[in-house]
Amino acid sequence: MKADVYADGAATRLEGPLLFLKRTINVGLNEAVEVEDSSGRVRLGRVSAIDDDTLTIEVLEATAGLGLNDTRVRFLGEPLTFAVGPQMLGRVFDGVGRVIDEGPPVAAVKALRIDGLSINPAVRERPTDFIETGISTIDIMNSLVRGQKLPIFSGAGLPHDQLAIQIARQARLRHSDKQTTEQDAFAMVFVAIGVPYDAAENFRTAMEASGALEHTLLFLNLASDSSTQRLLCPRYALTAAEYLAFEEHKHVLVIMTDMTNYCEALREVSASHGEVPSRKGFPGYMYSDLATLYERAGSIKGVAGSLTQLPILTMPSDDITHPIPDLTGYITEGQIVLDRELDRADIYPPVKVLPCLSRLMKDGTGEGFTHKDHPDLANQLYAAYARAVHVRVLASVVGREGLTENDRLFLDFGDAFEKQFIHQQGGRTLEAGMEVGWQLLRMLPATELYRLNDQQIEDYISQDEETGETT
Amino acid sequence: MADSVQHDAVINWISGPVLRATATTPLHMNEAVKVGQRALLGEVIRIDGDQAVIQVYEDTTGLKPGDPVSATGAPLSVKLGPGLLGNIFDGLLRPLNEQGRYVRPGISQNHNSKQYAFSPLIKQGDLATRGTLFGSVHRDDARLQRCMSPPNCDGRVVSIKPAGEYSDEETLCILDCGDDQVRELSMSHFWPVRQPRPVLRRLPIKGPLFTGQRILDSMFPIGCGSRAAMPGGFGTGKTVLQETLAKWCDADVIIYVGCGERGNEMASVLHDFPSLLDPRTGRPLMERTVIIANTSNMPVAAREASIYTAVTVGEYYRDMGLRVALMADSTSRWAEALREISGRLGELPGEGGYPAYLSSRQADFYERAAHVHSLSGNVGSLTIIGAVSPPSADFSEPVTTHTKRYVHCFWGLDASRAQARFYPAIHPLQSYSQDVEALSHFWSQNGHPNWARQRQRFLALLEDQARLERMARIIGKDALPPRQQHVLLCAELINEAFLRQSAFSETDRYCSAERQIAMMQIITRFIKLSENAIELGITLEAISALAVMRRLMRMGEEIGEDDLDKFDQLRAELDHSFTRLTRSEAEGHES
């Protein structure tokens, strides 16, 4: 099927990552090319625009060293594909899917288009399998389910990598009978997008230490690699992840860090195309472009295996309204937000609970999934903590003395919640986390707990009056 | 092979979903075209000499200059027929159920061979004017539907098929339109999506679209044939609210458009709707629903068209004399699709990078909502409820501000309410409804003549609360006089007991008019009783310590649709509590 077509010396202009050619032959949009310079070095590229007399090639590696006269372009006659196979597990790839761990090449069973195809919404399975991450702020208040895409909104210098590694190590299904059979069907794809070498290395060693490296694929696009390649790195990785999930029937967790670098690269490449910029210079199609990545999470009816995404992005100057977190939040199914103030107060993980959300939580929690009182507890904790934060604002002006008696109780609850519930050392099971939650709610008068029913009040809140719990 | 493809134009330039072609035969504006060997669907959006600009509704990967474009001779149209209800379609009304695991380019509109039970409503010799309902179609798994003659054909019935099973494209009725013109009618017909379907006349808003949501029906109601917008940042609950409305509102037909939204949400709708029952008819909700899904990773041009497709389907059911509600989630994604295509065309950008024609396109869309006398003589309505996703939750951005100009109801969603898990997170002080006056008679007819006054009272209390909260920030809540603290308590009760309504609670997800009235009355009663008690010198602490407070706060959860008489008990308990309180206060004074 592959047609080997060459264009020699047809190049007319070089500008940043773009190479312009005279259109001497007929090629299709988005088809892959190889650009060869005088020394015989081959660079990957793709056709990004076509008109009557010009072809625009996006070169996926540095264009340094390319010239107009001695550049040879080979047209592959098909879009960029990735050769995937079951032996990919445990291997390390670069941003365009080439093995870089000095091992033998991967035996491919299939070549898949890296852009993927949209999953038909009518065949998607509704995600309901609760994943216990061992982080109470996630498990209890913003539960993660298989097939979900739940990003971590972080800031520079916050411990998001540490959190992601912890989740990757601790994540397990709740039902132990399922777990044993499915443990080997578990895989992890770590995608480093424009991150420094040591961040990627940290992840690798952590996985190695936990013995999960043979279930892990690493895709490394380091900070020093080209920005066009940065746009492709998550696509190669997700293609591999989709293959593992839907063909090899594994439960794949994809950790992508850092999506901010991806968006910056998108802006850079868009600008070099001369496109009309939208908000903050980012291209107007950034929403659609991000969606083509995030929407590749999910599970399919009748197919074992699922693709769960945990993208990490650092909010520029901690601004959640910046286009990158904003558009991401509109696509993903919730978000986990990290907070600098909590981090400074030495609370780990510094999860800022109020703006966090998991949209799929309702389908994977409660009776038959986790615990029948779980949703109400989460709801009540949210209501109480929101009130505590509100009261804290009041108290910062009028002082503790200007508050009513009840408000003072909420103020104390807020502090205790942060120190005992949000803060945790190591993993904490769902049950242990729920127990901490009930205990904290006992600090508050039962009459204020409107989100709990009488039975729950009796079971969890009032019982301790005998054991001498002071309120 | 290439010879079989008709050549009307040849591609010479491609950029993403937009291409330019040199026409060999004249093309027309908004004409549907087939592009390339795979016959991808496209539409002509600009003509300049022999150069036509075409937007393609599918992935353009692999298209080459020199590939052929063939004209279809008709504007972009969709097939309206009995197979729509209960199914899921893409933005161009192509059935997704019949697709495989992935949505691939080049799929065609449905030619299903399914048979539907037809029975004629007119006979040979009858005059069938435009829009005449000439037969009815019965499906076991959907509500009763009618067959309509298209709005552009008049004539006398030459023949009509007897009752029986037919496919949706079989000729059932032949009309003699005079001048030797003959029209053949089948169950389905095509209609161009960008052209509003004609009506006899438009009617003023009369009845409500009852949603079963207290904060809407009782505070910011929407009329049948009206239009509403719900803007909100991410995570404020737009989608859940849209789904809730699609589930519980009392429309006959629901069109649910997922425009540039999440695939998993569509899966959840597809999972929930067949198992939920319509509270009025007791039939599965799916039977009255058409889902149009163009998720965010599906082609962007089809996202632009999906809104028009949906509104055309809505008008089709409206013309049968039904009450139709269209939920569009989200119109901002549609506006962004316009922006993206406009950018590719190199058009001069307006505010926020959107094309200058954004507001007129929005007006076109919202204007198609109406309460009408249809051509068939029936009264029908199409209500549009559009979600808006303003970037950074900033309501001053162009899509929100333009939308505000065209809608009657504005339901602003508030992030801080959502963060406290207070849903629906509609902010009562940022929202409005212009249909209130037209709908107050609905409440009087349901035995609640004081509705307008009580609603006003609630809003005033909420307004006062906001003002007092600001004041309390400076002087401290403790320093507020009892009467003002009383306002805060009442406002909290209104918020917590009345406006909050969990979409996931089996008891409270739907609230009938009777229950809304009972709750409103009992809260009004509490306000009055507590006001009197404060006058008598009873402290606010004593009131908020009453056991009945918890019952009031939780009445939405605790008193379901089936035991409305419990409200009488609750009221007795309330009266009793206050009597006791005032009595003990009086005794305290005496002793």
Nearest CA in chain B to A328: B234
What pLDDT, in 10s, does the model give residues B458-503? 999 999 999 999 888 888 888 889 999 999 999 999 999 999 999 9
CATH number at residue B263: 3.40.50.300
Pick from B239, B262, B476: CB nearest A402 = B476
Nearest to B299 by CA among A263, A296, A333, A288: A288
B420/A276 Cβ within 8 A: no
CATH of the domain at B39: 2.40.30.20
* Least CB–CB distance from B340: residue in A29, A284, A327: A284
For residues A279 and B352, give the distance between their C-alpha atoms in angstroms, rounded to a whole number: 7
DSSP string of B97-113, one letter each residue? TTS-SEE-TT-------
Assign A25 a pLDDT band (cuts: 50, 70, 90): confident
Are B239 and B340 within one domain?
A: yes
Give the tens place of pLDDT for each residue, A51-87: 878 888 988 888 888 888 888 899 988 889 999 999 9
In angstroms, what CA-CA distances link B182 with B154, B176, B177, B179, B192? 10, 5, 6, 9, 21
In a domain, B376, yes or no: yes
Average pLDDT over residues A362-369: 90
A418 lies within 8 A of chain B by CB: no
Q: Would residue B99 count as lying in a domain?
A: no
Question: Among candidates A440, A437, A448, A439, which has minimal Cα distance to A412?
Answer: A440
pLDDT, residue B62, reads: 84
The answer, for B420 touching chain A at a CB cutoff of 8 Å, is: yes
Q: Does the pLDDT at position A172 exceed 60?
A: yes
Cross-chain CB nearest to B475 (options A360, A398, A447)? A398
pLDDT (tens digit per residue) in A148-164: 999 999 999 999 999 98
Distance CA B168, CA B186 (A): 6
Instruction: Check CB contact under 8 Å for A147 and B264.
Output: yes
What pLDDT score was predicted for residue A168? 86
Euclidean distance between CA atoms A335 and A152, whole angstroms: 6
Q: What pairing do the DSSP bridges indicate for beta strands B289-294 and B370-373?
A: unpaired
A375 lies within 8 A of chain B by CB: yes
Would B33 be classed as within a structural domain?
A: yes
- The predicted model gives B111-131 an average pLDDT of 87
Residue range(s) defining the domain that contains residue B491? 451-590
Do B491 and B438 belong together in one domain? no
Q: Is B424 strand, coil or helix?
A: coil
**Are B310 and B70 spatial neighbours (Cβ–Cβ below 8 Å)?**
no
Q: What is the tens place of the pLDDT at every residue in B174-218?
A: 999 888 888 899 999 999 999 999 999 999 999 999 999 999 999
Residues B160 and B205 in one domain: no
In a domain, B103, yes or no: no
B460 and B382 in one domain?
Answer: no
At B591 the pLDDT is 54
B237 and B370 share a domain? yes
**Of B20, B65, B336, which is closest to A287 when you measure between CB atoms?**
B336
Closest CA to A194 of A155, A228, A150: A228
A422 touches A137 (CB < 8 A): yes
CA–CA dist B105, B310 (Å, integer)? 21
pLDDT digits (tens, 9 = 90+) for B408-437: 999 999 999 999 899 999 999 999 999 999
Closest CA to A122 of B111, B274, B285, B268: B268
- Partner-chain contact B260 A359, CB within 8 Å: no
Average pLDDT of chain B, as a whole number:
91
Taking the C-alpha atoms of residue B283 and residue B285, their distance in angstroms, rounded to an integer, is 6
How would residue B1 be classed by pLDDT, with cut points 50, 70 and 90? very low
Q: What part of B 43-82 touches A (C-beta under 8 Å)? A: 60-66
Query: Is B160 in the same domain as B303?
Result: no
CB B423 within 8 A of CB B411: no
State mean pLDDT over A398-419.
Answer: 92
Q: Does B259 touch chain A (CB under 8 A)?
A: no
Q: Are residues B497 and B432 in the same domain?
A: no
Please tell me which of the candidates A120, A127, A326 has its beta carbon nearest to residue B100: A120
Band (pLDDT 50/70/90 cuts) for residue B111 is low
* Backbone φ, ψ for residue B9 (5° rounding): -160, 165
The four Cα atoms B137, B140, B144, B150 give a dihedral, to 10 degrees, of: -40
DSSP state of A446: G
Q: How many CB atoms neighbour CB B588 within 10 A?
A: 10
The reply to whether residue B62 touches residue A300, judged by beta carbons under 8 angstroms, is no
**pLDDT at residue A466 above 70?**
no
Together in a domain, B547 and B497: yes
Whether residue B182 is found in the same domain as residue B208: no
The 3-state DSSP class for residue A432 equals: helix
Model pLDDT for residues B6-55, shown as the tens digit of each residue: 789 999 888 888 999 999 998 999 999 999 988 899 999 999 999 999 99
Q: Are B381 and B324 in contact (CB under 8 A)?
A: yes
Of residues B103, B239, B271, nearest to A118 (C-beta): B103
A419 touching B, CB under 8 A? Answer: no
> A120 vs B300: CB contact, 8 Å cut-off?
no
B258 in contact with chain A, both atoms CB, cutoff 8 A? yes
Query: Residue B108 pLDDT > 70, yes or no?
Result: no
A29 and B353 in contact by Cβ < 8 A? Answer: no
Rounded distance between C-alpha atoms, residue A19 and residue A449, angstroms = 65
Residues B423 and B236: their CA atoms lie apart, in Å, by: 8
pLDDT of residue A183: 56
Surface of A (63-82) touching B: CB under 8 A: 79
With an 8 Å Cβ cutoff, are A326 and B391 in contact? yes
For residues B423 and B458, membership in a common domain is answered with no
What is the number of domains present in chain B? 4
Does any CB of chain A come closer than 8 Å to the CB of residue B472? Answer: yes
**Upstream peptide bond of A258 is cis (omega within 30 degrees of 0):** yes
Domains along the sequence of chain A with CATH: 5-78 (2.40.10.170), 83-364 (3.40.50.12240), 374-465 (no CATH)
With contacts defined as CB-CB under 8 Å, which chain B residues touch A29? 14, 60-64
Q: What tokens were used for A437?
A: 């939650």
Domain boundary at B188, B217, B242, which? B188
Considering the domain architecture, whether residues B130 and B250 belong to the same structural domain is answered as: no
In a domain, B526, yes or no: yes
Residue B96 in any domain: the answer is no
Q: In the listed set B420, B445, B470, which residue is the last one of a domain according to the structure? A: B445
Interface A:B, Cβ pairs < 8 A: 228
Residue B590 distance to chain A (closest CA, Å) = 29
What is the tens place of the pLDDT at every residue in B494-516?
Answer: 999 999 999 999 899 999 999 99
Inter-helix orientation angle B300-319/B331-344, to 10°: 130
Q: Find the closest chain A residue to B22 by CA distance.
A: A52
For position B145, which CATH number holds? Answer: 2.40.50.100
Task: Tell me: do B136 and B253 sit in the same domain.
Answer: no
Does residue B170 form part of some domain?
Answer: yes
Within 13 A of A169's CA, how many CA atoms are on the CB side?
19
Which of B164, B188, B212 lies at the terminal end of a domain, its last residue? B188
Residue B21 covered by a domain: yes
Pairwise CB contact (< 8 Å): A30 & B62: yes
